Structure 1
Amino acid sequence: MALTEQPVIPDAPPAWISILKMLWRDKFAFCAALFLLLMILCAVFGPALLEGVATKQNLRGRNSPPFDFSQPWVMWLGGDALGRPLLARIIVAAQNTLMVATGAVICSMILGTTLGLIAGYSSKWASQVIMRLADVIMSFPSLLLAVIVLYMLAPSVGNLIVVLAITRIPVYLRTSRAEVLEVRERMFVQAAQVMGASTRRIVFRHILPVVFPTLVTIATLDFAFVMLAESSLSFLGIGIQPPEITWGLMVSQGRPYLTTAWWLSFWPGLAIILTTLSLNLLSNWMRTALDPVQRWRLDTPRKK
């Protein structure tokens, strides 16, 4: 009797290939991811390559108009009031702008999520204390609180990250607490309690992985908000100070020349708009990709 051959099951592709395929099917999210990758590369390598060019003054090229392709490529977007190339300055300024937003989002996400997990799984007394702390922070408008604190402290990258992180803690705190209150009633959490798992293991091994995708989606949206807040503070003159540069500071420096040299504020403002739009598009894609119920929309190829 001949033995029947077992069918060979092909190996599943790596997870990152599946993610790229899902991203490719959403063309807007794919373009947004490419643009954000370009901005990250500018932030990482831009200052090392172009910092000298971005700070070099050329008074003969004051307010040089854009699209003069007879000039070096760093002058294709024009020059500022001191003749410094705008393209090089935008590339260099990406580091400070993205560093402030990234630091503020990571700090607020870690602190807010930790407090939210404690408030959702600990005693009622501890939950009430933590939630009242969140109410106190939320009682002040975030931008106004940042303005007041930065007037008292010296404007710097570190102080800016701390201030913006504090104002965004309640977002993650309230979201994680609401998720924990719902997840803790599920059967797998109750099973872990019956089997004698410690509170720490239940929170970090069973509850946090379920809550984390929601927090990542919120962080993507919050990144755009924090970047706009940093740009607003720099525009008001209480953010990062010269000789450091950010996109918001460049918009502020070009404000007196809006009627004669619009490009001084237009190009850094466009960089802010495109980065914020890309983050929002990528956040919408992540909301679907991280949701097991909705992920089939990205896994299924669309019919032409």
Structure 2
Amino acid sequence: MGPRELGLPMQVVPPEPFQLPAAVTIWEVGPRDGLQNEQEIVPLDVKLEFLHRLADAGLAVVETTSFVRPEWVPQLADAAELLDGLQRTPGVRYPVLVPNSRGLDRALQAGVSDVAIFASATETFTRRNLNRGLDEQFVMFDPVVRRAVAEGLRVRGYVSMCFGDPWEGPVAVDQVVSVGRRLLEMGCEQLSLGDTIGVATPGHVEALLRAFATSGIGVDRLAVHFHDTYGQALANTHAALRAGVSTVDSSAGGLGGCPYAKSATGNLATEDLVWMLDGLGIEHGVDLGALVETSRWMAERLGRPSPSRVVRALAAS
């Protein structure tokens, strides 16, 4: 049965002209965001090989770990040892998440050049994740960001719950823009807009990016971070690309979720993203074959198949 029999138009015309970016930076979050929710502790040597394989596959940014308190995220308790054993590939950036000033101290001791902070667009999630109110989070982050910038580090600001919150429901676009603006004003180089529970749709993505543009914040300062709870991660990414976004977060093999938001499922799989970018003619620098093999290797270590559709399809071919 073809499109005509299904009652679909034979040709779909885009509603408006758009310009896709020529190249996209893939911000690989598998080693940090992907593994942090694993119940079984992944051995240090496996994490190190995972990092080395990802860099060898051509990923230019590989988020490595987080200097969070071990009781909060036991999986990342080996952050210092991990960075000490990491063989850094020239030209590859290895960001780490720092929750507070103590985390920044440890990051500086480890010699990192990129750090990230994890803020929220909603009051409830901020209290659950940071034990602080929405405004209070900026009091905590401000000295961290300003000191990091003074030390010559690049700082990324994650904004979680940009599209929906499991406790508060839909999140106002203006509220997200306000949080993002405050992070940029304190010194963050880039914002990563997170669909933490995976409820975004392309229209919502376009509306949020339009609101940032209207407020004077260009897409060059923005990245997107989608979860695939409702199967919308690739569609949302395409909407962001159409708006000019050129940095996309993804996780090798689709690993990950959020330990503080139980409804969050896996991140956008890096392999699925690469497959789409190839189809759009957008440069990304990643060897898909090497990446698929890496995710298959990690899936074996975790004892379950990869949720990435591209990994499964290529493994079966």
| TM, length-normalised to structure 2 | 0.25
Could you say which structure has the larger radius of gyration? 1
More helix by share: 1
